[in-house]
A and B are shown apart, each in its own frame.
Chain A
């Protein structure tokens, strides 16, 4: 049903094309379900666990010695803000998964603090996803997911798990934290996949 809100004209502020329902911000808002975990790099590790249980492990030193990329991408948060042209540095998941043997179709990202989010494995490959550890030329601060976070900019930002500690690969598409309380399982901002069933 189409209705008009009496007396509403709107404030169309952004000339840029954004995904439907988004507005432009120049700030960097924070959204997470609980307090910010503070993890020291020396206590940090990242693991990839395959569907057969094989574990690949990186500590901070081995992780940061991998080839890193400069990444500039737009971010779209399901709470409706978009921020354009953000600058990151991180390791491509193509690099991290290069020696991982798997036939899995799905990945669950796990974070320090217990957060999880599910993604199709193919969305993490081919230059679409990184483990980022610098933002705007500075080490990533804890509020924004430091020491390192997943960065999957083509999906809503809740998929870019902050404080990431590992990926568990699987043949089945299980639901992560927000996905299991009503958010969309995939989360494409351009298709406005905010909530389950969108």
Chain B
């Protein structure tokens, strides 16, 4: 393992917001210029730290949405009603403001171009963020190996990265499928959660030996990962990232 490379000390760095893109009514992408950003792998995340005038601080984790290009990083944040950090990032932060970050973190939920086998991506809601980074790294690597994205959203207006995804789907390198849980666009008959039949119909089979990346709210990740294992996928090739913040009472 690249243990030594990853075991360096992570320090807080002050970035500057250089651009903000509204993705949906409740999500936006922050482009942040971080001097000396050490680079990252697709799928990794960082910690964001906010400081109030009296010194009070709050931190949360956010996935890196961009593949590493050297100069800037991108985060996409979905506002959690009542939350402490996400409403600030979605409603308050402006271009030119400083933003403290620390990362990259995580060496498991990552895709490396040299990795063998097809890529199966399965996103629920804002879980699409690290999977978008994987798609961007995949495109930068020439669009191989074969890749598929299944993206579960409430309704058509909840789709983050709609234009990027249309472009990726049009390139024929990646098969993109949406699953709508509340309301589907005209002409799309299926409304409902991701289930065994849908996975069977549109994902790579266990025989294809894909590496599967499942990301989203905890109950979504639990349900999909269980279905994949039941369908015969090797648990060691099913990588999960649970966004929380809460897994629901148990």
Interface, chain A (partner B; CB < 8 A): 1-13, 21, 23, 25-37, 79-81, 113-114, 141, 143-144, 175, 177-178, 180-182, 195-198
Contact = CB atoms under 8 A, between A and B. Distances in A.
A25 B92 CA distance: 25
Contacts of A23: 58, 84
A3 B14 contact: yes
Contacts, number: 141
Most chain B beta-carbon neighbours within 10 Å: one of A2, A10, A114: A10
Contacts of A32: 240, 242
A4 B240 contact: no
Interface string B3-16: 10011111010100
A3 B245 CA distance: 26
A138 to B, nearest CB: 9
Chain A to chain B: the 8 pairs with minimum beta-carbon distance, closest first: A197-B9, A181-B107, A35-B225, A27-B246, A29-B247, A5-B50, A30-B247, A196-B7
Contacts of B222: 30, 36, 143
Contacts of B235: 34-35, 37, 113
Most chain B beta-carbon neighbours within 10 Å: one of A35, A79, A141, A175: A35
A10 B98 contact: no
A29 B242 contact: yes
Interface string B30-55: 00000000000000000000111100
A10 B52 contact: yes
B73 to A, nearest CB: 17
Contacts of B100: 3, 5
Given A8-B92, A34-B238, A81 B250 contact: no
A196 B6 contact: yes
Contacts of B60: 80
B132 to A, nearest CB: 21
B244 A79 contact: yes
B228 A181 contact: no
Contacts of A9: 52-53, 56
Given A4-B51, A23-B58, A182-B106, A33 B240 contact: yes
A175 B228 contact: no
Interface string B194-238: 000000000000000000000000100010011011000001101
Given A12-B56, A114-B236, A28 B225 contact: no
Which DSSP category, helix, strand, loop or mixed, fits chain A's interface? loop
B107 A182 contact: yes
B100 to A, nearest CB: 6
B122 interface: no
Given A3-B51, A181-B106, 4 more contacts: A7-B92, A10-B84, A30-B242, A182-B106
A13 B56 CA distance: 12
B108 A181 contact: yes
B226 A36 contact: yes
B225 to A, nearest CB: 4
Given A80-B60, A181-B106, A143 B51 contact: no
B236 A34 contact: yes
Contacts of B105: 182, 195
Contact of A175 (B3, B9, B58): B3
A146 to B, nearest CB: 11
B247 A28 contact: yes
A6 B14 contact: no
Nearest to B44: A182
B249 to A, nearest CB: 5
Contacts of A5: 50-52, 88, 93, 97-100
